[in-house]
């Protein structure tokens, strides 16, 4: 084909979650490479995407939903179908879902003969107790014509559990946005959170979730705070579509029983994207003791900002991080997490981690991730016009 490939990228929401970050960054990188990409997402809040983008964006009308996750998923699939029922919304050569919701919508469009096929990125696979959601998750994988993954962990999982091959595309970080250089946002961030300039801040990204091991992190911080009473734990983000109420209740009980002084644990919720680099720079360390991840984009963002990282010695982290790049911990051992947090405050260790972290971030550009998609995109486009 001589004309520019038109690529529809579909995400599950407009919120700052890893899959949505990936969708926007992939779209921006494709545009820089000369492709015509558009990122779509249901916009439940009516606020648009969490950040401005180079890539064209489309906010899909989102119907009201209750608290049932299965109903929410089915409703968002229906929202996508309603949007793409209109022929003027279907002017694309390639369809690419970044999640199970949009992949189910594309699977239905494929079954109806509206599109010829689609690709799907599997960032990670969840364990759902509800059989309806579990079935939809599996359909979103098996119905895709091409699969992408961001880590070998999930490539191997798909081969073993689903009998499907997937292309490893990786992840990236925008080092023009995330950097160690302070700007006006740093003062605004400190004022917003009432932080002293010399505060020892441990930062967690992703909100309160079981797979983020937030209760384990809280227990570790309690140990660290006894040694460093002027330290803070900031938990940022948490704009998830899934139901984390039971774990939030467990976290609240753990916090109440911790004996930590009021104000030492700060939950910010989602912050404006313009403040995120400053939030990283305000931290003594990013603490990311997850028990399950697709990749861990926050690790690269922190490193690009010159911030040491504490993370779990598990895949996928062990795929792209080596000894000396981060401070490893056992996510199931509170003492291990706490010891790594304390080590992150030691000047010689910090100096080495910052240098090595900047080097890791520099190796992960979005252009390379975008190029890794192109062969599959072209095959899908050729099949659609065969």
Q: How far apart are CA 256 and CA 254, in angstroms?
A: 5
Question: Is 161 exposed, middle or buried (CB count within 10 Å of its CB: 0-12, 13-18, 19+)?
Answer: exposed
Residue 175 confidence (pLDDT) above 90: yes
How confident is the model over 1-29, as a mean pLDDT?
91
What is 6-172+366-384's CATH number, 1.10.240.10, 3.40.50.2000, 3.40.50.10090, 3.40.50.300?
3.40.50.2000
**Per-residue pLDDT tens digits for 152-168:** 999 999 999 999 999 99
Residue 65 confidence (pLDDT) above 90: no
Place of tokens 């998830």: 240
Query: In the Cβ-directed half-sphere of 282, how many Cα atoms lie within 13 Å?
Result: 30
Q: Which two tokens stand for residue 82?
A: 């309603």
Per-residue pLDDT band at 241 (split at 50, 70, 90): low
Q: What is the structure's pLDDT at 239?
A: 59
Decide whether 6-172+366-384 matches 184-362 in CATH topology.
yes
CATH of region 184-362: 3.40.50.2000
Classify the phi-psi angles of 235: left when phi > 0, otherwise alpha if psi is within -120 to 50, otherwise beta.
Answer: beta
Looking at the chain, the whole-number percentage of residues with pLDDT higher than 70 is 98
Residue 187 confidence (pLDDT) above 60: yes
Mean pLDDT of the chain: 95
Task: Order the strands of the 146-149 sheet from edge to edge.
Answer: 56-60, 36-42, 6-10, 94-97, 119-122, 146-149, 167-168
Q: What is the structure's pLDDT at 240?
A: 63
Q: Which two tokens stand for residue 358?
A: 């900047």
Residue 129 confidence (pLDDT) above 70: yes
Range with the poorest average pLDDT among 28-42, 183-197, 306-320: 183-197
CA distances 144 to 10, 140, 273, Å, are 13, 7, 32
How confident is the model over 27-36, as a mean pLDDT?
97
**Per-residue pLDDT tens digits for 191-224:** 999 887 778 999 999 999 999 999 999 999 999 9
Which sequence spans correspond to the domains of the chain? 6-172+366-384, 184-362
**Per-residue pLDDT tens digits for 329-384:** 999 999 999 999 999 999 999 999 999 999 999 999 999 999 999 999 999 999 88
């Amino acid at each position: 084909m001589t004309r520019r490939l038109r690529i529809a990228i579909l995400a599950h929401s407009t919120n700052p979650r890893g899959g949505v970050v990936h969708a926007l960054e992939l779209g921006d990188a494709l545009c820089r490479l000369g492709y015509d990409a558009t990122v779509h997402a249901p916009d439940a809040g009516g606020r648009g995407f969490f950040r401005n983008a180079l890539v064209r964006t489309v906010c899909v009308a989102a119907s009201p939903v209750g608290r049932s996750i299965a109903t929410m998923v089915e409703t968002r699939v229906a929202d996508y179908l309603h949007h793409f029922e209109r022929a003027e919304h279907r002017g694309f050569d390639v369809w690419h879902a970044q999640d199970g919701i949009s992949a189910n919508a594309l699977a239905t469009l494929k079954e109806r003969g509206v599109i010829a096929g689609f690709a799907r990125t599997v960032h990670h696979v969840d364990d759902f107790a509800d059989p309806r959601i579990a079935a939809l998750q599996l359909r979103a994988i098996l119905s895709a014509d091409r699969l992408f993954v961001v880590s070998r962990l999930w490539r191997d999982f798909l081969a073993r559990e689903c009998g499907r091959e997937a292309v490893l595309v990786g992840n990236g970080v925008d080092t023009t946005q995330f950097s160690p250089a302070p700007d006006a946002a740093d003062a605004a961030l400190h004022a917003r959170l009432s932080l002293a300039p010399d505060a020892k801040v441990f930062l967690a990204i992703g909100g309160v979730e079981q797979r983020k091991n937030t209760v384990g992190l809280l227990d570790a911080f309690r140990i660290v705070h006894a040694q460093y009473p002027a330290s803070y734990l900031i938990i940022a983000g948490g704009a998830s579509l899934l139901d984390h109420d039971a774990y939030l209740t467990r976290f609240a009980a753990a916090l109440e029983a911790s004996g930590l002084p009021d104000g030492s644990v700060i939950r910010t919720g989602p912050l404006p994207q313009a403040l995120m680099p400053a939030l990283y720079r305000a931290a003594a360390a990013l603490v990311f003791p997850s028990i399950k991840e697709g990749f861990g984009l926050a690790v690269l963002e922190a490193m690009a900002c010159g911030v040491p990282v504490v993370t779990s010695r598990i895949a996928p982290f062990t795929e792209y991080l080596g000894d000396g790049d981060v401070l490893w911990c056992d996510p199931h051992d509170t003492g291990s997490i706490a010891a790594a947090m304390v080590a992150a405050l030691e000047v010689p260790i910090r100096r080495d981690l910052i240098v090595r972290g900047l080097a890791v971030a520099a190796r992960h550009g979005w252009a390379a991730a975008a190029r890794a998609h192109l062969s599959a995109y072209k095959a899908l486009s050729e099949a659609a016009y065969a």
